[in-house]
Amino acid sequence: MGMPLLLDTCAALWVAQGAPISDEARGILIEARLRGAPISISPMSAWEIGKLVEQGRVRLAMEPAKWFAALAGLPGMSIAAMSPETLIASSFLPGVPPLDPVDRVLIATARDQGYRLMTRDRLMLDYAETGYLQAVAC
């Protein structure tokens, strides 16, 4: 079984809505599905999606809670665990991690649970280049 994937919020939105993603990311998603590797989303993404809709930055065809539940219910998808230890770890990431608290929680989740993070966020990708995180650009 391959390395599990954690989709960041934007990756989850793009994948769910069929938006263009990189060839590498598409190949990794296909491979994960074929090998049965978990593809997860964070509960923090549920909060972030709600905020994006509330701010008018994202439009969904249904209420954010129903949209998130539908995404999490797709075959091969799951909701990543978010323990108090992971939340605390997000405050003590090595190196110079991004300052955004949601990004830090996603990074800590990926590190603690062995996920490869799929993102377009340049700061998270730069952090991955330092070796503290496994990531793939989407």
Query: Tens digit of pLDDT for each residue in 75-127?
Result: 889 999 999 999 999 999 999 999 999 999 999 999 999 999 999 999 999 99
Confidence of residue 2 (pLDDT cuts 50, 70, 90): low
- Torsion angle of alpha carbons 75, 73, 104, 114, nearest 10°? -40
Exposure on the CB side of residue 119, measured as CA atoms within 13 A:
26
Read off the pLDDT of residues 59-75 as tens digits, 9 standing for 90 and up. Answer: 999 999 999 999 999 88
Q: How confident is the model at residue 132 (pLDDT cuts 50, 70, 90)?
A: very high
In the numeric block, which tokens belong to residue 81?
Answer: 């665990």
b/e map of 45-63 (b: 16 or more CB within 10 Å)? bbebbbebeeeeebebeee
